[in-house]
Amino acid sequence: MRARILASAIVLLVATVTVHAEPFAYVVNGDSATVSVIDTAGNAIIATVPLGIEPQEVAITPDGAFAYVTNIFDFDNDNVLIIDTAANAVTTSVGVGAVPRGIAITPDGAFAYVTSAGDNNVNVVDIASNTVTTTVAVGDAPYDVAITPDGAFAYVTNNYTNVSVIDTASNTVTATVTVGLSSIGVAITPDGNFAYVTNFDSDDVSVIDIASNAVVATVPVGEEPKGVAITPDSAFAYVTNIRSNNVSVIDTASNVVVAAVPVGIFPIDVAITPDGAFAYVTNAGSDDVSVIDTASNEVTTTVSVDESPIAVAIAPLRGDADADGVVDARDQCPATAVPEAAPMSGKLGQAHYALRSGVTFSMGPKAKTIFTTTATAGCSCDQIVAALGLGKGSLKFGCSAGVVKAWIRGLP
């Protein structure tokens, strides 16, 4: 009887909510010169966007309105193609330097930083006018670029043995960090503390301390690592290994590989959904995208795309007012506070849960199921208990697994 009452209460609370599909993954297909747009809610392709001659990398503006794709047309006419994500069509282009590859957009959406491997520099594109406002000389054959969460610095991998650090206020190189052999990919932890750099020829990942610009760890991974992405809670780094046909999962606290996930043939790039629940891996040799469940580190689905998918970016959630990783349109609890008050005793009970940080619930002893805000439609333990009218006594040791599961079962 109690379970039926709980379920009925849940249905009444959520029955009027419409779930909108998003975010979307933008996959660059090198040989087809297209972008496949994947709805990550159902892993279906909703659009295919034709591009230029040799598309390379992709970045999406913070508001999700535009996707910027680097494109090698010819040595003198290389450019960045700009896709309007509402129409999923190319609306304009920006001429840049020779052989553009990596691209990153500042957190405020004001500038795009584009590496030019042919000119050994970085082009700075003003997003408002879509014009190059300056170029910054870096090392030899710059490949990838990532920007710190505060927008203060851009980290550029130079395809030999170092990383150039650009001060974005002055657009000057303020440091050069020696890393492994043939540094290619780079990603910065969302907490802004570390940069993870893949070294293609030394089969490892260099970890740079952002504060000191010193390498503090070197992590052996698979053969020919290239792409790297960090989970939103900064806890794990996912690294594609081209020759090993797998993805190394690095625990960023210990800088140790805790899993190797088999994927498709020649995995090139990786991106993680805003809620941290899934990693999308482009497999250039098998023309598909592997979707990894980050809780189990297993591939749960494979999406066929066009020929030779080589890059991927996932659009941010639109309208996430409480920053809980769930878009407002499907958020049942629009004022989620993290960390929440539960557990009132200060200690999680056995098989109990509470939202203490990020988007993944902390787990008490003997807890087995991993819950995220995506699963609970943006609700914390406090909010679930209040919505179900269970009383504050239910918060003493956090939410039981049964209460959380009952809530989730009642969601549309």
Delimit the domains of the chain by residue range.
Answer: 2-17+326-409, 24-314
d(CA 141, CA 112): 18
What pLDDT is attached to residue 356? 86
Could you give the angle at the alpha carbon of 230 between the alpha carbons of 224 and 233, nearest 5°?
Answer: 155
Dist CA 291 CA 304 (whole Å): 11
Is residue 145 over pLDDT 80?
Answer: yes
How confident is the model over 138-159, as a mean pLDDT? 97
In three-state secondary structure terms, 186 is: strand
Highest mean pLDDT among 80-89, 211-220, 356-365: 211-220
Q: What would the pLDDT profile of 55-95 be if each residue is shown by its tens digit?
A: 999 999 998 899 999 999 766 689 999 999 989 999 999 99
CA 213 to chain centre: 23
Residue 1 has pLDDT above 80, yes or no: no
Q: Quote the mean pLDDT of the chain.
A: 91
Give the residue-averaged pLDDT of 141-154: 97
Fold for the domain defined by 24-314 = Methylamine Dehydrogenase; Chain H (2.130.10)
pLDDT at 41 over 90: no
In whole angstroms, give the CA distance from residue 402 to residue 356. Answer: 19
Mean pLDDT of 285-300: 97
In terms of pLDDT, which residue wins out, 66 or 412? 66
3-state secondary structure of 56: strand
Beta bridge partners, 225, equal 241
Buried b (16+ CB within 10 A) or exposed e, 353-363: bbbbebbbbbb
Is the C-alpha dihedral spanning 264, 275, 383, 396 positive or negative? positive
Q: Lowest mean pLDDT: which of 19-28, 81-90, 383-392?
A: 19-28
Q: Is residue 159 exposed (0-12), middle (13-18) or buried (19+ Cβ within 10 Å)?
A: buried
User: Tokens representing 328?
Assistant: 């407002």
Over residues 381-392, mean pLDDT: 89
- What is the predicted pLDDT for the residue at 158? 96
Q: What is the pLDDT of residue 88?
A: 94
pTM: 0.77
pLDDT tens readout for residues 244-282: 999 999 999 999 999 999 999 999 999 999 989 999 999
Yes or no: say if 197 and 162 are a contact pair by the CB < 8 Å rule: no
